[in-house]
Amino acid sequence: MAKLTGQERYVDDLPIGDHLWGATVRSPSPRGRIRSIEFGPGVDWSRFTIVTADDIPGRNAVFLMEYDQPALADDRVRHVHEPVVLLAHPSRDVVRRAAKLVAIHVDPEPAVLDFCAPPTREQIQHGDDNVFKRILIEKGDVEDALAAAPIVVEGEYFTGAQEHVYLETQGMLAYVEDGVVVIKGSMQCPYYVVKALKPLLGRDESGLRVIQTATGGGFGGKEEYPSTIAAHAALLALKSGRPVKLVYDRWEDMAVTTKRHPARIRHRTGVDETGRLLAQDIEIVLDGGAYVTLSPVVLSRAVIHAGGPYACDNVRIDGRAVLTNAVPFGAFRGFGAPQAFFGLERHMDGVASRLGLDPAELRRRNLIRDGQSTATSQTIRDGVDREEVLDLALRMSGWAERRAEIERLNAADPLVKRGLGLATFHHGAGFTGNGEVMLESVVHVAGTPDGGVEVRAASVEMGQGTTTIFTQLAADRLGLDAERVAIAQPDTHRVPDSGPSVASRTAMVVGHLVERACDDLRRHLGLGNDARGEVVSAAIRAWYDDDGRETPTELVGEAVYVQPSHVEWDEETYRGDAYGAFAWAAYVAEVEVDLRTCETRVTDFVTAQEVGRVLNQTLARGQIQGGVAQAISWALLEDVCWKDGAMQNAQLTNYIIPTSDDLPSIRVAFLEVPYEHGAQGAKGIGELPMDGPAPAIANALAHALGVETDRIPLTPERLLAELDRRAASAAETGADAGRRAAS
Amino acid sequence: VTAPVHAGDLPATGPAIAVRFHLNGAKVAVEVDPAERLLETLRYRLGLTGTKEGCAEGECGACTVHLDGVPANSCLVLTFQVEGRRVESVEALDEAALEPFLAGGATQCGACTPGVVMTAAWIVGHPELLETHRIRELMAGNLCRCTGYDGIIESVETALPRELPGTAKAARDTAPGDA
């Protein structure tokens, strides 16, 4: 209710009295040496707190995977908008205007701006080839299988960057209290901020406290980037001795924060005449931008999903994430998988068309059955009937009849063309391979003196429903009313590290820890797992009443992550069980294109998915519909325009996301096969809906127009160019035929 | 909430302007910079932070207020323009009217929500709008990145008064033969 009445306090809403406002001065250049910093005339700079790299007490890096990204550029810059100088001042308006009066002068060096082109020697900035990470997955013998295959189909696909556009822009508040640096703000991963600030400020956990405030959307955009803003706010607070609030406006948020990695995906696929997959040879290149950020793990998820939910004995997937001098790319819902599936599922339609097979039939013949294995040789045995998922989507969309009807309609209508497209896909939940083991996530459930419990986890509420789900899980586990369950605000001095709120892991992985911590709490009380409700409440109250000491020992149940025994993963060879569980889905899109404007409308969208047990219908449906909306938008509207590796259209005026009138009602159906290692049988759900819509829409557009739709976003301009190209090649063919006839 | 702007730090854009208006039923008097927007006055001068800044250029609707009873983007209104006028912000809304939004999946992260419910309240108060417009059209000034809009649209339908002829709600609620 607080969100509805405007009472919810986001970081920019926090009243903190006598604070300063921060602003960031940034590089104008994609690469070069900083020659000088010029503070403009007409401003009394003595009234500002000014921070540069020289003011950093510890190591100048925003650490997550590597130490390569400085918190403030020192002698050189590696991308446009790289932070160089920080300012703070009592007035929000003054500091923002003053930041524009500081000039950073840079002697340029050769920048890399095309991630597909091999770098020249002068452009090398990482290792000897600018490759941040390469991953190779091999199964069977691809070359032999391709050589022997009766039919080989090749294709090349491109996906563009995408800006998160969470409605609350990023921001942090920092202050020093009793010698502790306190950070409050909008974030997905409080412990990532701690990890980044420890080396930067030369402090340990006790001298750093990170508290998540109400977070207005994340989608991955508040996974790693908040650490940078927290670092800046902390440096300004330490230097000024005052609280500092650093809140980005929309332009700054869109221009300087991470985005989805642009990608090029190539496929070479061998099939027999019946459409059975004999070999998949796949290459993926991701544009990493100027620093490593999370690109290696985004690449990991991309390559693991690139072969799709299909059984194939011979697979090679070769992935690279490469450096360019673009603003660094980072986490975004789906985390590499949407790019991989765009390539794969467009390509599957190409294969179907070559064979003259119905796209649904080609997929049906290749969907993994229990006992068969994925590209990483992970044997799937989860009891899910993936054909049933496909059939559900086909039934809901009336696939075969509607395709036929559309073809009749298109033949009769010269101006409006319709199309129906399909994608089948899967999404692994939780961290990849041994990732969850390395995280060693911990959850506490504490008894409160009134007989209730408080769940303490670092998982954040950002709109996806963590608070509701954790409340439900603890209440159900202990047989308590929901009113007896409190969820602690993520605060690194109060909650243990239960890992980041990413990777569709919160309900499935951390939720399961909540359940186990409830069991541990009962153990402390001498109760078995059959004790529920008032029995538990009474025992909790008794714990505090009977303790007898002045300060009773707090009753805390704890759970630490344990890898399910069936999961085995080899990081060296990229073989084994990449994820404990996959969600499976089939989506169908229907589109309508007006040939006068080349504008595409999605007129119907059907989603069928198996996500384990659905914990909360409203929240689950909201996750699917919201994810689909973002993916439709990525496929059709969201076009990041680049200059020197920086976004030129960092405004909602010319970077378009859909309104309520641009989207159809999104139909959602779940099949439920409980997953025994997930909370109440749940599997991850948050990212799945980002994977399928783009290829389903591109396939629908190809069906509608008969043109190549291998590059997104499929804006009206791009569709018009494709239609012109088709017309030109048709004219060419016609002219050739004419010449041949004449000769 | 607001820190004073020190004269001489940077030039002001012009002499301060005294503005009086009605805010959520009360009279308000402020002195503002000519370039100050209503959104800033509400949030940083008067401490009414329910109204959110989403884009500051009239695209997203997170800052929607009612200006003389009609939804307006407060980021596009200069404060001196509301002299003598009636402004309602989200803080003035009746909580009971918001129940459908709580149940219906209309809000996830909540950042767009104050603007969404301001527009929704206007539609609910003027159901005659639905004789000429669809709810999806009327809500198109409020961007939401979380829900995909279905939860919002359904909540507006639920919140509409039951007994109004000619509305989508009335049409849906009237079983065949009832008339």
For residue A703, give the nearest of A541, A619, A624, A593 by alpha carbon: A593
**Binary contact (B151, A622; C-beta < 8 A):** yes
**Binary contact (B55, A250; C-beta < 8 A):** yes
List alpha helices for A241-376, DSSP H. 250-256, 295-305, 337-355, 359-366
- The ipTM estimated for the assembled molecules is 0.96
**In this predicted structure, what is the pLDDT of residue B177?**
39
**In this predicted structure, what is the pLDDT of residue B4?**
38
**In this predicted structure, what is the pLDDT of residue B178?**
37
What CA–CA distances, in Å, run from A644 to A33, A75, A326, A714, B129? 16, 20, 7, 23, 47
Residue B2: pLDDT band (50, 70, 90) is very low
Q: Is A234 helix (H, G, I), strand (E, B) or coil?
A: helix
Query: Chunked in runs of 10, what are the mean pLDDT values of chain A (743 residues)?
Result: 89 88 98 97 94 98 97 97 97 92 97 97 97 98 98 98 98 98 98 98 98 97 98 98 97 98 98 98 98 98 98 98 98 98 98 98 98 97 97 98 98 98 97 92 97 97 94 98 97 97 94 98 97 97 79 91 91 95 98 97 98 96 98 98 98 98 98 96 97 98 96 98 93 78 64
**Binary contact (B108, A13; C-beta < 8 A):** no
**In this predicted structure, what is the pLDDT of residue B149?**
98
Residues 6+ apart with CB under 8 A from A484: A451, A452, A453, A475, A537
Q: How far apart are CA A553 and CA A542, in angstroms?
A: 12
**In this predicted structure, what is the pLDDT of residue B94?**
87
Would an 8 Å CB–CB cutoff place A460 in contact with chain B? no
In sequence order, what DSSP letters do the residues of A654-677 get, joined into one string? TS----GGGSPPEEEEEE----TT
List alpha helices for A257-358, DSSP H. 295-305, 337-355
**In this predicted structure, what is the pLDDT of residue B155?**
95
Chain B residues in contact with A20 (beta carbon < 8 A) = 3
Which of B44, B102, B146 lies nearest to residue A4, judging by beta carbons?
Answer: B102
Residue B11: pLDDT band (50, 70, 90) is low
Residues of B (103-162) whose Cβ lies below 8 Å from A: 103-105, 107-114, 117, 134-137, 139-153
Chain A residues in contact with B144 (beta carbon < 8 A) = 167, 660
DSSP letter at A82 equals: -
Dig out the tokens for A308 from the structure.
């799709």
Residue B3: pLDDT band (50, 70, 90) is very low
Would an 8 Å CB–CB cutoff place B78 in contact with chain A? no
Chain A residues in contact with B112 (beta carbon < 8 A) = 167
Q: How far apart are CA A659 and CA B140, in angstroms?
A: 5
Q: How far apart are CA B98 and CA B66, in angstroms?
A: 16
**Binary contact (A6, B51; C-beta < 8 A):** yes
Tell the burial category of A558 from Cβ atoms under 10 Å away from its Cβ (0-12, 13-18, 19+): middle
Q: How far apart are CA A296 and CA A298, in angstroms?
A: 6
Dig out the tokens for A89 from the structure.
């001042």
Residue B98: pLDDT band (50, 70, 90) is confident
Would an 8 Å CB–CB cutoff place A15 in contact with chain B? yes
Q: How far apart are CA A512 and CA A550, in angstroms?
A: 34
Read off the pLDDT of each residue in B78-82 and give the average, rounded to a whole number: 97
Chain B residues in contact with A462 (beta carbon < 8 A) = 109
For residue A636, give the nearest of A606, A605, A591, A666 by alpha carbon: A591
**Binary contact (B113, A4; C-beta < 8 A):** yes
**Binary contact (A657, B113; C-beta < 8 A):** no
**In this predicted structure, what is the pLDDT of residue A2?**
86
How many CB pairs lie under 8 A apart between chains A and B? 200
Read off the pLDDT of each residue in B22-37 and give the average, rounded to a whole number: 95
**Binary contact (B57, A89; C-beta < 8 A):** no
Residues of A (661-690) whose Cβ lies below 8 Å from B: 661-663, 665-666
In sequence order, what DSSP letters do the residues of A210-221 get, joined into one string? EEE-B----TTT
Q: How far apart are CA A729 and CA B5, in angstroms?
A: 64
**In this predicted structure, what is the pLDDT of residue A743?**
60
Would an 8 Å CB–CB cutoff place A630 in contact with chain B? yes
For residue B127, give the nearest of B174, B168, B172, B175 by alpha carbon: B168
Would an 8 Å CB–CB cutoff place A1 in contact with chain B? yes
pLDDT above 60 (res B167): no
Q: Which residue of chain B comes nearest to A250, CA vs CA?
A: B55
The fraction of chain B above a pLDDT of 90, given in percent, is 73
Q: Which residue of chain A comes nearest to B49, CA vs CA?
A: A13
List alpha helices for B3-149, DSSP H. 38-40, 99-103, 113-125, 135-138
**In this predicted structure, what is the pLDDT of residue B14?**
79
Q: Which residue of chain A comes nearest to B116, CA vs CA?
A: A4
**In this predicted structure, what is the pLDDT of residue A355?**
98
Q: How far apart are CA A583 and CA A384, in angstroms?
A: 9
